[in-house]
A and B are shown apart, each in its own frame.
Chain A
Amino acid sequence: MSIADDKEAGAGWLAIFLGLALIVLAVAVALAAAIGDYSIGVGTVFLAVTNGLGLTAADIPPIEQSVVWDLRLSRALVAALAGAGLAICGAILQALLRNALAEPFVLGVSAGASTGAVAVIVLGIGAGSVSLSMGAFAGAFAAFAMVALLSNGATSGPNHTILAGVAASQLFNALTSYIVTTSGNAQQARDVMFWLLGSFGGVRWPDFQLLVVVVFVGLAICLLMSRSLDAFTFGDEDAAALGVPVARIRLILFGVTAMITATIVSMVGTIGFVGLVVPHAARYVVGPMHLRLLPACAAVGAIFLVLADIASRVVAEQQTIPIGVVTAMVGVPFFAIILYRARPQQ
């Protein structure tokens, strides 16, 4: 049973939870800006941020100003947004597909993005990092279009949609492997591997600006539809009987999740685990109703990825571990505790 069982207590509980989460997130982001190969004091971080915002003109070394503002802060904020976005997408797909194993990549979006990225890295279609993102984005949408087509615009029911997603993933993964094995050299294969596991290296303010719009607009749309999402608890037909325009809601929400996921994947690669596990963890705390669940997912996902990014930079000296490795290694033990505590009491 969820902790937030009583409705009135639930609203207050959620407010406290979100308030705490925001404070934790702020601390995590500050830590992310302070910690690294070049360690910077928290006081300096604070001044660098206020300098960057134009609120102060404190005299701190330009190198520290630049490291904090240009490199680490943008990176931490992109990590937070990516975590929030992936967690929201996971929660929505788990509800719409009525499948606890659903996650943001179930609709083939990551496989498509990989193919697009590999086409850029290995085949050299276009050049430079901008076109890598563009390639990934195009691939992601190609895969989503295929899934939408195979599942009649997502009207054919959850299992049909999942199978269409599996088919698209298999096809695009095969294409990726084909391109790498036939055209790639060892270095390119390594690059691809690294990209597939996800990395926040190289993200800058323009990435943040795009992602903040996509994630917040996406979250707003999903919150507006949260009542309808709740109505899917007992399936599509039941939702229809409760007055929900099922086909339209499914298509809009699949589109929104694909958009968020594709944007994230095209920037930072395929970061697994967040979208699968955070919704379950959040549901355990705030309950399954989406008006509460979605903000909680966003908060928990954001904190989780910022912390995971810090871990990825400090665990091994002088190198950065792929973020996907960290999310799984940090996340699994954490999730094991939740699974254990939430086991059915028979």
Chain B
Amino acid sequence: MSISAHNLVWGVRHKTIVADVSLSVAPGETLGLIGPNGSGKSSLLRLLAGLKQPLSGRVEILGQDIARVPRRTLARQVAFVQQNAATDTNVSVRDVVRLGRTPHRSALSGWSAADEAVVSAALERVDMTGHRAQAWQTLSGGERQRVHIARALAQSPQVMFLDEPTNHLDIHHQIEILRMVRDLDLTSIVALHDLNLAAMFCDRIVVLKAGAVVDCGTPDAVLTETLLRDVFRVNAEVCAGPIPCQTHIRFKAA
């Protein structure tokens, strides 16, 4: 298993936000994390990436308990793409992607040809090579998200976490970003709001409700009318497409 979580519990004060979650992700798999607002998607994602410490339970990534792995070592294997990470600093696209090499460089080591090659490849992968000298502030939302993904790729990770990477993007860019993520040669876990996009691009889906896993499986197995009513409180019609992974959800007004 690439990632496995065992009985994760996390909360603040008297409120439990992630309640006894266990899951596992196979190498190369794209796992979608869906659930209504406040269901604990973002928190779970951060627990899995080691950015929050669970109250109990543990996470193993590539066979190691991440609580015992130094932060920098972990960052060479695991990348995390926040939603809409922003800055006021006047940085260029290349500067941003170069930050991805941070965990691979010691305090005194120079910028190597290998670093440069990784950065160039990452920019190429997200089709932003032509924008490398452009200022961050002048990029569109879709371009910024692509640069964030390039920066994550520059970490040379084996596992990538993405927290609602398609928020605030138009449908073209939503599809473009998710196709890119799916086609990466990585294990990825993506928190998503759009159920149809989750159905289109995820190998498997984990459904969260009130911090607990309600269901887990392939999109066509998980996304049923009953589940949508119970978890998301919507009436919808689920149409199985002509080919697998083409499950489509049509929401009803009442």
Residues of A within 8 A of B (CB): 1-2, 5-7, 98, 100, 224-228, 230-231, 233-235, 237-238, 240-245, 283, 287-289, 342, 344
Contact = CB atoms under 8 A, between A and B. Distances in A.
B17 to A, nearest CB: 16
Given A227-B105, A242-B102, A243-B75, A234 B111 contact: no
16 contacts: A98-B88, A231-B99, A233-B89, A233-B91, A233-B96, A235-B87, A241-B51, A242-B100, A243-B71, A243-B102, A244-B72, A244-B102, A245-B72, A283-B90, A287-B95, A288-B89
Nearest to B79: A241
Nearest to A344: B137
State the 4 A-B residue pairs at the shortest beta-carbon distance, nearest first.
A243-B75, A243-B103, A243-B72, A241-B80
Nearest to B96: A233
Contacts of A6: 133
Contacts of A235: 82, 85, 87
B94 A7 contact: yes
A242 B103 contact: yes
Nearest to A228: B102
B155 interface: yes
B182 interface: no
Interface in B95-139: 95-96, 99-100, 102-103, 105, 107-108, 111, 133, 135, 137
Given A243-B76, A289-B95, A237 B51 contact: yes
Contacts of A5: 92, 133
Q: Does more than half of chain A's interface fall in helix, strand or loop, or is it mixed?
A: loop
A233 B90 contact: no
A99 to B, nearest CB: 9
A231 B90 contact: no
Interface residues of B, number: 35
B200 interface: no
B253 interface: no
A91 to B, nearest CB: 11
B54 to A, nearest CB: 15
B74, B79, B107: which has the most chain A beta carbons within 10 Å?
B107
Nearest to A7: B111
A342 B100 CA distance: 27
Contacts of A245: 71-72
B171 interface: no
Nearest to B88: A100
Given A1-B135, A238-B85, A288-B89, A233 B99 contact: yes
A216 B49 CA distance: 38
Contacts of B82: 234-235, 237-238, 241
B86 interface: yes
Contacts of B72: 243-245
Nearest to B76: A243
Contact of B71 (A233, A237, A244): A244
